[in-house]
Amino acid sequence: MSFWRSDYRALGQTLTSGRLGVDMPQPNGLGMRIAVFNQALAEEMSLEWAHADMDSVSGWIQSTSQPMAMAYAGHQYGYFTMLGDGRALLLGEWQNDLGICYDVHLKGSGPTPFARGGDGYATLHAMLREFIITEALHALGVPTTRSLMVLETPYKVWREMDQRGGLLLRTAPHHVRIGTLEYANRALSPEDYARYAMVILNRSIGLWNGANALEQGRSLYGVGDFDPEAVRCYFEEWSRRQAELLAHWMRVGFAHGVLNTDNISLMGMTLDLGPCAFVNTYDLKRSFSSIDQYGRYAWGRQSEIMEWNAGVLLSCLLPLLDSDHNERRAVLIAQDLLQQYRFCVEQALKRMQWMKLGLDPQRFSNHEEACSLVSDWQVWLEESRPDYALSYLNLEVILQEAMQFDSKSYPVQGGLLESSSRHISVDLPSRDWVARWINFLEGAGDGACLSSLAQMQSQNPSMIPRNHLVEDALDQKVLHDRDAGWDELLKAIREPYQRSELQRRLNQPPPLGDAGYCTFCGT
Ligand code: AMP
Ligand code: MG
């Protein structure tokens, strides 16, 4: 069974006379065409269209009772601003046959009262870009909003020139952001804010725990009772998930690019992909966004900036942290929670670095040689700035070769690096480091190399969506209506751990690495 709900709206009306968003008419889908359709996600959502056609899609969009543009605020580049869905609409909540909930959102559907002078539309290019990057992240195992389809609109969008227009249908368990709470905290009475926040936090906890509305026999947005313990539990779980998310971003080389609080999900998943990119070269200071002049959202600063964002989230939770509303006690609790958050992030990043090298972080975390192998490798990455993804694939080749020989000293005798270099294309750290690493893995017990190899193959992608290939595929598709490059890239990024020829061929960096590559927001 599946059905539409629109509980945000019901909630908004009950608590706040609709002040948490603005009702909007449904887009009618007239003259639109499907540019790309995510069959696998449609099946997961139990959408029963044999093949997607515009009539089914329009009918589906129009079957929702009342779309809503949500109000939210946010700290953009550190400054507080009123925002809201300027070009997005929450269509409603969909439930698949298993009872799993999806909020369905449109992006690029036209101006709303929150558009602040923007046209409310989006280019086909930008929406296709979000589609392919979310597909890549999902396949890489990185929690993210998903993209169900991109529609091409009949109208053009002006971005320094006329461009084809696009509309993205995206899904998430919910699309509530830190900025939603920032807004509600200011806009609502303390009582209404507490009830609203509890609803959102309880719903997040419910979704994390796999709760489903049908079983509970009531909406997951049902009114929540003020419960400081639940708020603390919420933040602890968010911390754990946000820390894992950061570690994933660092693991695969993903730079979100605009980590303003209005783009940070309360579910701990990647949200609002705009000027994002994947690093080729290992350069922690690299930011790709055209407006990020000072590198606030640089790839390697993501955990630092997310701690700042976690602080903003905690400031929104302050009124909910102490049962007697004692501010001093609430601040102490918040400080403690922020400390825990920091610890979660440190641990997640450390685990990620170890796992990428095939080292077991639990077994060897107190082992001096293992620790020094990891820190030497990290220093080498920072100093040499090699191609990030290929560096680990090279290590994998070396490990595989070493496993074919018995001699522990093989690497230092010279044969290994030379023979491996036939298969590998970029720098490696010193022979000494490689020899120590192989020796360590060999010395870790029977079958250790094999399990390290398996671990590396599950942590290190054989394929990331290289920026230049994404741009080429988009240009071909949008400017020339040629789908071959797009289809091939989509196929490859959907199997990012597959060690095969397709991935090997498409996972090559551009000749100049990241030099000159720049991304844009709000297109
Ligand atoms: P973003 O950078 O996509 O997260 O957008 C930041 C804010 O600007 C959000 O409130 C968006 O809804 C709004 N926005 C971005 N582009 C447009 C546009 N073309 N028209 C209206 N609002 C927009
Ligand atoms: Mg945004």
Tokens representing 223 are: 């009114």
pLDDT score for 16: 45
Residue 154 Cβ inside 6 Å of ligand 1? The answer reads no
**Nearest-CA residue for atom 16 of ligand 1:** 522
Instruction: Tell whether 320 and 251 lie within a shared domain.
Output: yes
- Of 356, 382, 408, the one marking the end of a domain is 356
Q: Which of 50-54, 82-86, 371-375, 425-429 has the lowest mean pLDDT?
A: 425-429
Any bridge partners for residue 4, and if so which? 94
List pLDDT tens digits, range 362-380: 999 999 999 999 999 999 9
Residues 23 and 144 in one domain: yes
Residues 344 and 246 in one domain: yes
* C-alpha to C-alpha distance for 171 and 478, rounded to whole angstroms: 23
301, 402: one domain: no
Domain extent, residue 115, equals 13-182
Decide if pLDDT at 412 tops 90.
Answer: no
Residues whose CB falls within 8 Å of the CB of residue 214, separated by 6 or more in sequence, listed in order: 1, 95, 99
Residue 212 covered by a domain: no
Query: 392 and 289 in one domain?
Result: no
The percentage of the chain sitting over the pLDDT mark of 70, rounded to a whole number, equals 89
Our answer on whether the CB atom of 272 is closer than 6 Å to any ligand 1 atom is yes
pLDDT reading at 481 higher than 60 = yes
| Bridge partners for 199 per DSSP | none
8 Å CB contact between 151 and 166: yes
Q: How many domains does the chain have?
A: 3
Do 302 and 335 lie in a common domain? yes
pLDDT band at 94 (very low <50, low <70, confident <90, very high): confident
Residues 379 and 336 in one domain: no
Same domain, 288 and 369: no
Q: Do both 168 and 72 map to the same domain?
A: yes
**Could you read off the pLDDT of 310-349 as tens digits, one per residue?**
999 999 999 999 999 999 999 999 999 999 999 999 999 9
What residues contact residue 435 under an 8 Å CB cut-off, 6+ apart? 409, 411, 412
Do 75 and 258 meet the contact criterion of CB atoms below 8 Å apart? no
Name the closest ligand to CA 71: 1
Q: Does the pLDDT of residue 213 top 70, yes or no? A: no
Tell me the three state secondary structure of residue 74: strand
Instruction: Give the distance (Å) from ligand 2 centre to CA of residue 128.
Output: 17
**Is residue 262 among the annotated active site residues?**
yes
pLDDT in tens, 415-465: 445 545 444 555 678 889 999 999 999 999 989 999 999 999 999 999 999
Given a contact cutoff of 8 angstroms between Cβ atoms, the answer to whether 411 and 417 are in contact is yes
Q: What is the DSSP string of 245-256?
A: HHHHHHHHTEE-
Q: What is the pTM of this model?
A: 0.94
From 201, 198, 108, 187, select the one nearest 155 (Cα to Cα): 108
Instruction: In whole angstroms, give the CA distance from residue 423 to residue 405.
Output: 17
Report the distance separating Cα 183 and Cα 262, nearest Å.
Answer: 10
How far apart are the C-alpha atoms of 278 and 283, rounded to whole Å? 11
Residues 6 or more apart whose CB falls under 8 angstroms from that of 493 comprise 132, 135, 136, 139, 463, 464, 465
pLDDT at position 218 over 50: no
